[in-house]
Structure 1
Amino acid sequence: MQLQCPLLFPHGDIGYYREIPLNRPVKHSKGDVEVTESEDPDEKCAREYITMREFYNYKLMIRLSEGLTPDLGGRLWQQYVVDAFTAIEQYILGWIRDHQTTIRSDLCHNIRDAMQKGDRNPSNIGKAIILPASFTGNKRYMTQYFKDSLVICQTLRHPSLFLTMTTNTKWPKIQRMLKHMPGVDVADAPDVVARVFKMKGHDTTTMCLRKTRTSTSATIPKKAPKGPIDEVKHYLDGRYVCASEASWKIFAFDIHSRWPSVERLPIHLPGEKHISFKAGDVLEDVCDKAI
């Protein structure tokens, strides 16, 4: 990445590589108390190296003791932030593609139809590449949280007001940071805006208030396309990334929050249950387990 933007890194700084060591928490005594610095209680498994996101998270932070040449790059800095995030996302998608080539998914009645036609080879049935709902922003992810919002509306009634909180570029903290970067427009400092927005806690909020009328609508489900589907390719074909989104996700800030919590129950029509199976499984056993 550094070689792609030599104007931002004129000294040839070393970019990301997989074997950058991760600094472990250091214990030291402060009087009679033992203090542990940089300890992450959620990190259960030991890691030797930092991740790509952690590396670019470090690079986006402003340190007055270091040079600010990259932050003065204007639109080139925006391009660097976007390229950094797309590299992170491509790495994650590549891992998903390489580790799920043997996992397939299809509707129960489609598997039965294939068996009746004499096709008992699992490799010819189902989706070859599955993008799980745990990957932020894909269709499964959005569908799950959309259904959660419908359940909340059903419980608390439909909202009558939709409020969106946005960033004010004249906030004192943003202006104070821009003083260290002369000549830089606020649009060319997406990392600063993202951090200040997170600090103020003005996340996009939807308020559910009492509504006088209710309405009912029906949606006609679309037929799923036949044949194997590459969900990773389908996601990338419609992907758009801006510098603000890239900064927010590199910093690993929360994408959404909701209240109250929703517990998902797998409900489906007869024969419409999604079944996950491996390429070497016997289709008769797959259908029997689904019942």
Structure 2
Amino acid sequence: MWASAEQSRINWVRNNQAQIRAALYSGLQDMVSQSDAEARTAPDLHSVGQRIILPSSFQGGPRHWYEQCQDALAICREECTIDFFITATCNPAWKEITDELFPGQTTSDRPDLVARIFHLKQKAIFADIIENGVLGAVSAYIYSNEWQKRGLPHFHSLFMMKAPFKLRETAQIDSCIRWTMF
């Protein structure tokens, strides 16, 4: 169902290029100017196809990621300093995962289960930090979820704290460094 919905979104983008101002991007002109600038040779027009521009509202497209990066940089610029960098990776031996596997199954057989358990644990971590204030009052945060090559999800997060909870001395920073497994 997800793939079908994604295909519908892509088809809409393909069929509505004029509405998303794709005329501003001319692939042929770009190809000609690039090859003129680089080698002063005639461009290979066999490699030019129909260019489809994905709008920034299309999640996962390059324009979407560029916009997300710009938003993250703006938040960091506004907050000035990043106080905590926290990363966590899914552990395939978590009891919540292993209890739900059928005999003979491995975690690579159930990526849906792994992703769901990881998402619940991530929400719990963020609730402890943001809502419960275990590190102090958070003024802003940014995070990114990724999948490792071995198939396990993990996240990277940046937390900016409010003024009284900012880390200013080496001893404060050292007191926060932990290696934990949950």
* TM-score in terms of structure 2 length: 0.48
Structure with the larger RCO, 1 or 2 (CA within 8 Å, 6+ apart): 1
Larger Rg: 1
* TM-score in terms of structure 1 length: 0.32
Which structure has greater strand proportion?
2
